[in-house]
Amino acid sequence: MLNNEQQSVYTLAKLQMFDECPQKYKLCYLDKVHIVESLQKQQASQTGNNLHNIINFYLKGMDVTNQVQSLTQHEKILWHNFKNSDIKNYNVAASEYTFNLRLDSYWLTGRIDALFEYDGNYIIFDWKTGENFKAENVKFQTTFYLLCMYEILKSKKYIKKPEELSLHYMNLSANSIVKIKFDEDLYSNYKNKILDTINKINTTTTFFCNKTDNCKYCKYYRACPYY
């Protein structure tokens, strides 16, 4: 019989936030401190939602003509970059795919933007619309997506080894793609990383702040007791 902690469902957002800063995790998920995002971040989030929705409809074979016409000028540029990318050469396997995965005694849940098949291999695609996207800032997302999707695809017998899966971040603002490869060593490291983070969440009593130069950009900055 699983205990209450083991029955918990762990999302990418929760795990990533704890890995980034345990105090931020505490303020958000335990203390439930509500912070209103700045107007600029709200607008950026809306742009991201608009592009994700229209790409999802497009990949599912729907007519998106009216939706494209309603986009802002900036959003139309992002859409143009998507439409003119090499994505048209890949076979769509899934779009906005929500998954649930049991990893040891825990449940992980998440959603990927899209999954494509190309030349016998599978590629996770993630659309990025922010102008300041950097792959090093989404290392935990990379870990989570590759580990989870590998376990799922392997269980469905679509792939046999990690090398048959990769993750591509499509930066629509810069009109570029960052390609992340996968292998056995990374699989082992990623699994240990996820399980270690879950264990820390379940055992931590002192939620310290990592105190980095990025703290001043954190929306919980003014609520953080370390400042």
Question: Can you give the pLDDT of all 227 residues of the chain as single tens digits?
Answer: 334 444 589 999 999 999 999 999 999 999 999 998 888 888 989 999 999 999 999 999 999 999 999 999 999 999 999 999 999 899 999 999 999 999 999 999 999 999 999 999 999 999 999 988 888 889 999 999 999 999 999 999 999 999 999 999 999 999 999 999 999 999 999 999 999 999 999 999 999 999 998 899 899 999 999 98
Cα(87)–Cα(202) distance, rounded to whole angstroms? 41
Give residues with Cβ within 8 angstroms of 78, minimum separation 6: 47, 51, 129, 172, 173
SS3 state of residue 141: helix
Which residue range(s) make up the domain with 85?
A: 9-223
SS3 state of residue 2: coil
Query: pTM, whole model, 2 decimals?
Result: 0.92
Here the CATH number for the domain that contains residue 157 is 3.90.320
Asked if residue 4 belongs to a domain, the reply is: no
Asked if residue 1 belongs to a domain, the reply is: no
Q: What is the dihedral of CA 71, 217, 13, 183, to 10 degrees?
A: 90
> In total, how many domains does the chain have?
1
SS3 state of residue 44: helix
SS3 state of residue 122: strand
Asked if residue 140 belongs to a domain, the reply is: yes
